[in-house]
Every structure is written in C-alpha cells, then in structure tokens.
C-alpha cells in the first residue's frame, strides 16, 4: 500500500544511526583541529557549518517520489535545535514530528506511534545545534557527479546495510546572505531502491508556533475519532 511505503521510506531516512560508523572516505576533523589549507573539502565543510549557524528555522513545500514513482506532497517545518514536522497532503494519515528530543512517526490509520531519539538519527545533521562532520563520519563533496553548483552530504551505516544510505543536497548561493540552500535528499534502501524528497517555496527563518512540535496521540482512540492535529 502507498501509505505503508511512505512510512517505511521515512523510517529508512530518519532511523539511520550514524554513531560509531566508519566510512571509506576520510572524514574531516573538527574545524579547530584543521590545518589552514583552503582545499575544496574544507570550503564545503565551512559552507555547511555556516548554513547550520545561519538557518535557524525553515518552512517549505516538499515532494516525495517513491521507488514506484508515486508522488506525495506536503509542508515541511524545521527549527533548530531538534524540531521538524512533515505534514502530508491528500488525506495521507501520517504525521512525522520531532519535538527537540524525540522523533515521532504517527500513523492515524492504525493508531500507532513509533519513536526514536533525534540524536540517533541523521536528522541531527540538519536540525542539530551545529554540524561537526567528523562526529558523524560523513562524507561531504562539492559538485557531486559533476553537478556544478551543488554540494552533497552522504552517510550510511556499514554495520546496518539494511538501513541504506542518505545523501543530502545543497545548492550553493554565492553572494546571498546564506551561502547554501537545502534542496533535496535521496534515500537508497537496502534493496537499492531510491526515494527522492525535494523541497521548494522555502521561507528562511520564519517564526514558527510551538504547537507544530506536538501531535494528538491516536493510540486508544476509536478510528472514527482519529485526526492528524
């Protein structure tokens, strides 16, 4: 079912634990430990760190393309540290919301809530207080696959290959107040199937209501009474 695929895709995206992972690409040390050398990787790291410092909140539309090419749309809200919300359109009975500590997958169709600590998910790279590339042993690259003007951040857990890999893409925006713009991410699951999420119509640093990080718990409610708010 389409709804089940959406939930599993989001679980693969956000439940990937980056702690303790090792990668074939050499991780960059924290900025304070780096030698002063203006190479491409160091510039890319600084751009990501600046983005994390300058973009404290975000609101945008999103479009998700599943492996079977089915599309799902909605609205994304983000506020650092640790808060994010995916509101799905078209009567999709799911809600994904993090309150700063816990990431919740709420399924109003069956009255279920799944929870993960935000600190154990790759969301920490996007909604954490800051970004230390070495701490998550991730790989960052400018012009990935020859795509000029883009920057990518990739991570996977070799100890849990079934969780797949996530790659986050930023567009470089030289001359703008914020030097990067988050545009999309791709999740490749353990079977090699890719799910793409694109974001657009962004508002940078809007004021967001605290109620966005809460949800109505569907557990124990009659199905006819379940709502997504």
pLDDT digits (tens, 9 = 90+) for 27-46: 334 434 344 344 667 788 88
pLDDT score recorded for residue 224: 43
Q: How many CB atoms lie within 10 A of CB 48?
A: 21
User: Is 2.50.20.10 the CATH classification of the domain at 2-208?
Assistant: yes
Q: Which helix (H) or strand (E) holds 8?
A: helix 2-14
The token pair that represents 149 in the structure block:
């003007």
Q: Which helix (H) or strand (E) holds 51?
A: helix 40-54
Q: Are the C-beta atoms of 63 and 200 separated by less than 8 Å? A: yes
pLDDT score recorded for residue 35: 40
pLDDT score recorded for residue 16: 40
Q: Which parts of the chain have pLDDT scores under 70?
A: 1-40, 122-126, 130-137, 156-164, 220-229
The Cα–Cα gap between 190 and 12 comes to 9
The Cα–Cα gap between 41 and 67 comes to 31
């Amino acid at each position: 079912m389409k709804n089940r695929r959406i939930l599993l895709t989001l679980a693969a995206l956000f439940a990937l634990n980056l702690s303790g992972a090792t990668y074939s690409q050499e991780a960059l040390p924290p900025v304070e430990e780096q030698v002063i050398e203006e190479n491409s990787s160091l510039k890319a790291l600084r751009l990501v760190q600046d983005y994390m410092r300058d973009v404290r909140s975000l609101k945008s539309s999103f479009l998700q393309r599943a492996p079977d090419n089915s599309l799902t749309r909605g609205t994304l809200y983000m506020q650092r540290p640790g808060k994010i919300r995916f509101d799905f359109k078209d009567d999709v009975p799911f809600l994904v919301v993090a309150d700063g500590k816990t990431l919740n997958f709420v399924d109003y169709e069956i009255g279920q809530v799944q929870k993960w600590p935000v600190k154990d998910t790759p969301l920490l790279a996007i909604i954490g207080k800051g970004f230390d590339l070495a701490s998550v042993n991730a790989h960052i690259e400018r012009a990935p696959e020859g795509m000029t003007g883009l920057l990518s951040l990739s991570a996977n857990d070799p100890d849990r290959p079934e969780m797949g890999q996530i790659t986050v893409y930023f567009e470089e925006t030289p001359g703008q107040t914020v030097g990067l713009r988050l545009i999309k991410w791709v999740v490749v699951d353990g079977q090699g199937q890719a799910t793409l999420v694109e974001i657009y119509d962004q508002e940078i640093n809007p004021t967001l209501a605290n109620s966005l990080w809460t949800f109505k718990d569907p557990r124990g409610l009659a199905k006819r009474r379940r709502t997504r708010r």
